[in-house]
Amino acid sequence: MAEVEETLKRIQTHKGVIGTIVVNAEGIPIRTTLDNSTTVQYTGLLHQLTMKARSTVRDIDPQNDLAFLRIRSKKHEIMVAPDKEYLLIVIQNPSE
Amino acid sequence: MEIVHVYTKKRNEFGRQCNFSDRPAELHVDILPDPSLASNFIERDPCDIPIQCTQEMSEHEVNTERFESDTRGINHVEGGWPKDVNPQEMEQTIRFRKKVEKDEHYFSTIMQLGSNMEHCIKQNNAINIYQEYFEEEEVVEESEEQPSAKTINVFRDPNEIKRTATCLSWHPDGSCKLAVAYSSLGFQNISPDMSYDSYIWDIENPNKPEMTLKPVSLLVCLEYNPKDSHILVGGSYNGQIAYWDTRKGSQPVEMSTIEHSHRDPVYKVIWLQSKTGTDTFSASTDGQVLWWDIRKMSEPTERLVLDPNKKGNLDNALGAISLELDYHFVPTKFMVGTEQGLVVSCNRKAKTPAEKIVCTYSGHHGPIYALQRNPFFPKNFLTVADWTARIWSEDIKESSIMWTKYHMAYLSDGCWSPVRPSVFFTVKMDGTLDVWDFLFKQNDPTLSLKVCDEALYSLRVQDNGRFLACGSQLGTATLLEISPGLCTLQRNEKALATAMFERETKREKILEARHREMRLKERSRSEQSKDEDTKEGDGEESVEELATRTEAEFYEIVEAELKKRAKEQEKKVRRD
């Protein structure tokens, strides 16, 4: 339990990390460091996107599965680590 | 074994040939008209018969299917909460969350995902994986497009009697207006009905000039004040200078007095760079260059007579047609192009009038219609006169360093491109505009464009180098746009142009030195020969002797030619 906390805190304190969100399979944000409205927006959109990405990968090769999803935009990078039940979302400002 | 069947028929039973014979006409049927039948019909008078001789066309209507579009939005609301949890209530949500966090599965998942995530975060922090690695090697695509220019707008003289557009001036800010001076330069070509007006055109509207300027006499030249865009100064045909303020109307605000003005048409007027921004100077073929302050037009502030003997004698003076200022370096030095084909370089601040004229450059055969310094290399200037355009270096006074070939038509105006040091434009009397790029081709213009059928008299490039306007004999000002290749500075252009100018200057210097040597030798030799035999008094022939000698030579040649022809005729006759 404490390790979970420690892990999440360590992630949050990395250089450039703006926010961290843990989402469950139903789209409920379990842990978040951002404000509520932003969290809700991110979870809603990224959840759908991750599902789509995963289904794309599996359509091409059924043995394959989505390991990681990185979206780099002009302002920052959104990283999604998917799992069967949970999603870990981190928004980082990459070193420029 | 052959199966053969023999078929015989008498020849006279075959088919007889047709023998035609004449027979008189026989009447078979004769139906006589029965007037009683006419009662079954009604006469129709008149009969309308439409006939049409046109193309047959058909009409079809097509309409696309209407596409209905709708605007939708998504509102994100927290959802997915299980039924027993009310998302609004903080306690319930917190309790739910805590419950999830206690889950074993959650623990292991987060650990695993966390390590993945950390790897990526660290990667991001380590290097920028999307940076441009090969930026410097991007070769600028040199578009191999052909240089071209296209006409954008044509502004015609609205008056019936057309006058020549002799001078054009672009508006200093933004260049959206063009002032055109109209006059008639032919000797005594001015008819009493000719309108004296000159116009300011808005380049977007070629139908009607934006403003009219009404001078007392035809304007030969016109310039916008680069410091104050409402003020224009114009030199007129009767020698007077006038200035206008566009805010105040079409009449000139002030005109110079006739007694103190020029005695010939004022061919060029330029604004000076002064603190007050009100100084101009003007040049005319009467041989004077006058300085004016527009606030006080009753008298010129200064006067210079272009006497090559430096005596200030007006009778000897050279008529001035073009002027050029050395803006960047020395504000007191200027150059005048004369009718006689000389370029005179003068210094305004010289103490005595004799010293005002510093030096002259000769080499042209006719009046110098345009004179301009290269905006990038002020030591080199372009002159346009007679049938050539020449580029000079200030240091070499005997000849130009570069020149074009002799054209078929007279060159009437020219100017440098303000953005490219190696590009200049010239216009000719046959209505063509030439664009020269001497780094690309020296013998011919890079682009030669026939703008109109009549002669072109004036040319002006806008400050951005993209647009240029040329004025023709019938008062038509044409606005052209040049292709981007000709108005963007190429790589190394300045360095190459510098190298070229230096090379040509050096060549001319060497030639000049050689000429001087040869002349010295000649002089010393002729002096020697004079000492040796004093009997031969005529070291130099006088003009008359020269004339008789040439005449005799000429007749000799003609006679020889005639004799030759006669011989050839004889030969021909003999052969036949």
Question: With left for phi above 0 and alpha for psi between -120 and 50, is residue B310 left, alpha or beta?
Answer: left
For residue range A12-70, list pLDDT tens digits in order: 888 888 999 998 888 888 888 988 888 888 888 998 899 999 999 999 998 999 999 99
Chain A residues close to B105, C-beta within 8 Å: 85
Beta-carbon count within 10 A of B184 CB: 20
Taking 70 as the pLDDT cut, the residues of chain B under it are: 1, 76-80, 87, 129-130, 132-145, 175, 188-190, 308-316, 326-331, 350-356, 530-542, 576
Picking from B83, B104, B105, B110 by the largest number of A CB atoms within 10 A of its own CB, the best residue to mutate is B110
Say what the pLDDT of residue B535 is: 45
Specify the pLDDT at position A54.
Answer: 92
Q: In the prediction, which pLDDT does B537 show?
A: 44
Q: Which CATH architecture has domain A1-92?
A: 2-Layer Sandwich (3.30)
Q: pLDDT at position B141, please?
A: 56
B72-87 residue pLDDT tens? 887 766 666 777 777 6
Q: Do B121 and A90 touch (CB under 8 A)?
A: yes
Give the pLDDT of residue A57. 93
pLDDT in tens, B524-546: 888 777 665 544 444 455 677 78
According to the model, what pLDDT value does residue B341 have?
Answer: 82
Contact B281/B268 with Cβ under 8 angstroms? no
Report d(CA B324, CA B415) in Å as an integer. 11
Output the pLDDT for position A80.
92
Which of B81, B117, B126 is opposite residue A81, by nearest beta carbon? B117
Residues in Cβ contact with B367 at an 8 Å cutoff, skipping those fewer than 6 apart: B319, B321, B337, B338, B339, B340, B341, B385
Q: Do A86 and B97 touch (CB under 8 A)?
A: no
Choose, out of A71, A83, A95, the residue to mutate when testing the contact with B (most B CBs < 10 Å). Answer: A83
Structure tokens at B277: 């921004």
Residue B120, chain A, CB below 8 Å: the answer is yes
* Interface contact B78, partner A, CB < 8 A: yes
Collapse the DSSP code of B284 into the 3-class scheme (helix H, G, I; strand E, B; otherwise coil) and give the result.
Answer: strand
Distance from CA of A62 to the nearest CA of B (A): 22
Helix (H) or strand (E) holding B372, with range, is strand B368-373
**Distance (Å) from the C-alpha of residue B230 to the closest C-alpha of chain A?**
47
Cβ pair A68:B116 closer than 8 A: yes
A28 inside 8 A of chain B by CB:
yes
Q: Look at A41 and B76 and tell me if their CB atoms are within 8 Å.
A: yes
Closest to A81 (Cβ–Cβ): which among B77, B113, B126? B113
What letter represents residue B288's amino acid? Q
A7 — contact with chain B (CB < 8 Å)? yes
Cα gap B97→A23, rounded to integer Å: 11
Q: Are B440 and B447 in contact (CB under 8 A)?
A: no
Site from B85, B113, B123 to mutate, A interface, most A CB atoms within 10 angstroms: B113
Q: Across the interface, do A28 and B107 touch by the CB < 8 Å criterion? A: no
Mutation for testing the B interface, residue in A3, A6, A10, A11 having most B CBs under 10 Å: A11
ipTM value, please give it.
0.77
For chain B, the 3-state helix, strand and coil shares in percent, each to the nearest 5, are 20, 25, 50
Residues 6+ apart with CB under 8 A from B476: B154, B155, B156, B157, B165, B452, B454
Q: How far apart are CA A46 and CA A33, in angstroms?
A: 16
Cβ distance A70 to B106 less than 8 Å, yes or no, reads: no
Give the C-alpha separation, A74 to A93, whole Å: 10
Q: How far apart are CA B255 and CA B250, in angstroms?
A: 13
What CA–CA distance (Å, rounded) separates B565 from B568?
5
Chain B CB contacts of A38 below 8 Å = none
The chain B residue lying nearest A84, using CA atoms, is: B109
Q: Are B124 and A95 in contact (CB < 8 Å)?
A: yes
Q: Would the CB atoms of B127 and A85 count as touching at under 8 Å?
A: no
> What local confidence, expressed as pLDDT, does residue B310 receive?
62
Give me the pLDDT at residue A56, please: 93
Residue B530 has phi, psi (to 5 degrees) of -65, -45
